[in-house]
Amino acid sequence: MQVRLALSAHRLTQTLSRSQAGLSDPAPDDFIFADGRGTPLRPDRVSKAFRQWVARLGLPRIRLHDLRHACATLMLAGGVPVKVASARLGHSTIKLTLDTYAHVLPAQEAAAAELFDSIVRPQVVGTVAKGGSLGAALA
């Protein structure tokens, strides 16, 4: 929620800057990294400003693009559906997301197996304990 608030505050600043320049309010799909007129900033300028900000705060050296990968990894590891994560990342297909972030999914595979086990085990144990067969328990 804090990210949403920060982006809303940034949008308000952009709106005020554009208003002072005699321009219309920014459209919902306007750039986040833009000058006061709404013109997109050059990526190298944004990256340089980010590096300076990270250094000024004494944080470990990290590229701005690394934050994108961290966000994607955290979304997938946290159980966000791949389709949703893919859309948030702006990927054209979920295949691109899966190919790039497949390393995150083994942990989810283990969690899915544990969930399945917790659902099935009580039925199997109960049926077998009553003298039934494993096949009957799973039927």
- 45-88 per-position pLDDT tens digit: 989 999 999 999 998 999 988 888 889 988 988 889 999 999 99
Angle subtended at Cα 98 by Cα 109 and Cα 7, rounded to the nearest 5 degrees: 105
Identify whether the C-beta of residue 94 lies closer than 8 Å to the C-beta of residue 103.
Answer: no
pLDDT in the model for residue 21 = 80
Question: Which two three-digit tokens encode residue 107?
Answer: 């942990």
pLDDT in the model for residue 103 = 76
User: Between 107 and 55, whose confidence is greater?
Assistant: 55
Compute φ and ψ for 132, nearest 5 degrees. Answer: -80, 175
Identify whether the C-beta of residue 81 lies closer than 8 Å to the C-beta of residue 105.
Answer: no
For residue 55, how many C-alpha atoms fall within 13 Å in the half-sphere facing its CB? 6
- 3-47 per-position pLDDT tens digit: 788 888 888 888 888 788 887 777 766 777 777 677 888 889 989
Whose CA is closest to 100, among 125, 133, 117, 75? 75
pLDDT in the model for residue 102 = 79
Q: Is 40 strand, coil or helix?
A: strand
pLDDT in the model for residue 139 = 57
